[in-house]
A = this chain, B = another copy of it.
Amino acid sequence: MASAHRKFWGWGTEDQTATPDERALITKALGARFQTALPTPVAPPKVEEIVLPASRLSTPANLKRIATTDPRERLIHAYGKSFPDSVRMFQRHVPHPPDVVVYPESDADIAAALDWASSAGAAVVPFGGGSSVVGGVECDVGGSYKGVITIDLARLDRVLEIDRQSRAARIQAGTYGPALEAQLKPHGLTLRHFPQSFEFSTLGGWIATRSGGHYATLYTHIDDFVQSLRVVTPAGTIETRRLPGSGAGPQPERLFLGSEGIFGIITEAWMRVQDAPKFRASATAKFADFFAGARAARALGQAGLYPSNCRLIDAAEAAGTGAGDGSAALLVLGFEGADHPLDAWMARALELVRDHGGNVEQPKAPSAHREGAAGAWRNAFLRAPYYREVMVPLGLIVDTFETAITWDKFEGFHTTITSRMQDVLKRVTGKPGSVTCRFTHVYPDGPAPYFTFQALGRFEALIDQWRTIKEAANDLVISAGGTITHHHAVGRDHRSGYVRECPQLFADALRAAKSRLDPQGLLNPGVLIDPTDRSVGIRGAMAPS
């Protein structure tokens, strides 16, 4: 199986984890910070330690070749990669794994799996890299289904066609980030969509969740890179026309961008790709005040310069990753392109930064985004997913939530979220926690703030503690005017916010569309909208007691 060595309790493959040095550092830092002795960490789970319910489905002959009920496979596909996902694995608590995992090798295989689900009364959970942090791929679908089939697209992993003139490529949906870039590279092309999950997420997953890439401005989500789509639904296959632009009715691709698998399974897409960049300019700047940095980011976002990187990191978060001493917010600024030197762009950007009180540290080398403060932060950003499996067994609650908000509301929003979240962390855990913020993306009309919180919980109570905090965060973000998610998707964990954000009649229109494309409601029940049940809760049925 393609994902045989995938870690089921954390990020990456089983041979990848935090180094002993990183572990020692993390443990020491947490002990010092919370002024307490930390518990002896629970060891990572082994497959045989987790009791799984027997598979309820019997694979038909035509799918045996590509189906498995192997326990490790069921575990790998039971959860995504969120904090509570990791906690539940360390707690050995997996009551709702998929009954069967299918690895289709063609659209016909997917159609056959959907036919099987239809006749068996089983739900279907589409699975890309399984990197969801919002409960997007789990199989707790309620009692009205006779089983759950997870469809893992990992074998649909090829770049099928290249159109060099139009800079476009037809790519199968199960292609992982690195494999996608490796197949484009010989053509001098790159998609240049680098979410934090890049290594363990797929094109189809990016499209289904409106993933946010590394471009901080302009092409923030995957959306604008999608030229056309192919989607296999229970009612048949939809293929949109390859076009650079069109005004013919509502854009069909937009119904599937962010649809989280509820209408059908995206099997391939023509993607707009880029020439590999030849020119880079990067710089960092420090701001004594986070809001001054935000005003600089606003000026940069409104100037028509379109930096590829424009990440503002607050002082505490910068310090926490070794990119600062905690006295200043850090702005990481970059331009990249294949056509022309970017000096004029950077020069003007730095004028704007200085105009807003930024203290610019200009780098010397073209690889500067890998050095100095920016490099320290970048390294921490890439390593962070591996640290969770160190922190969870120590009882640390560590999670993030991300949003977007217009500039007029931003400062009040940030102040409210930060102080109210600190109250919640204290109330839930009895000790002060931390809430930090960075901008992942910057628009002319507002930033996408990304909050990280940490608090010391109790290992046995982590799920309940986390749920209380997460519900509070959802409520705060929506009450204060933000979006429930800028690029992590809705899944199950954001539904309490999504029902408040999404106009009811629009949700009804989506339900109506679903009733045509997936009339039995087989696909990913429980995420985004629920075709039958409008009640909402975060994994209400799933709390370990």
Contacts and interface: CB of A to CB of B under 8 A. Distances in A.
A7 B222 CA distance: 45
A515 interface: yes
Interface in A476-496: 481-490, 494
Contact of A441 (B245, B302, B306): B245
B516 A508 contact: yes
Interface in A221-251: 221, 223, 227, 233, 235-251
Size bin of chain A's contact surface? 35 or more
A245 B304 contact: no
A394 to B, nearest CB: 31
A293 interface: no
A252 B258 CA distance: 11
Contacts of A423: none
B249 A407 contact: no
Nearest to A239: B503
A212 interface: yes
A515 B407 CA distance: 37
Contacts of A221: 245, 247
A127 interface: no
A272 B340 CA distance: 29
Contact of A257 (B244, B251, B504): B251
A244 B516 contact: no
A384 interface: no
B510 A249 contact: yes
Given A407-B166, A505-B233, A515-B512, A209 B247 contact: yes
Contact of A445 (B167, B481, B504, B516): B167
Interface string A441-484: 10111111000000000000000000000000000000001111
Contacts of A210: 247
A422 B391 CA distance: 72
A232 to B, nearest CB: 11
A245 B404 contact: yes
Contacts of A448: 244-245
A24 interface: no
A101 interface: no
A259 B251 CA distance: 10
Interface in A252-287: 252, 254-260, 263, 272, 275
Chain B CB within 10 A, most for which of A275, A305, A443: A443
Contact of A272 (B245, B345, B445, B502): B445
A402 to B, nearest CB: 9
A153 to B, nearest CB: 20
Nearest to A275: B302
B446 A404 contact: no
A277 to B, nearest CB: 10
Contacts of A407: 163, 165-166, 244
Interface in A303-348: 303-306, 337-340, 344-345, 348
Contacts of A255: 250, 254-255, 506, 509
Chain B CB within 10 A, most for which of A237, A244, A337, A529: A244
Nearest to A507: B249
B446 A248 contact: no
Contacts of A239: 503
B166 A244 contact: no
Nearest to A212: B247
A490 B248 contact: yes
B505 A517 contact: yes
Interface string A162-173: 010111100000
21 contacts: A163-B408, A163-B445, A165-B407, A211-B247, A220-B245, A238-B503, A240-B503, A241-B501, A243-B483, A244-B446, A245-B404, A245-B441, A246-B483, A247-B489, A248-B483, A248-B490, A248-B501, A272-B444, A305-B340, A306-B306, A512-B515
Give 6 nearest A-B pairs by CB, closest first.
Answer: A244-B446, A344-B344, A244-B443, A246-B483, A254-B254, A509-B513
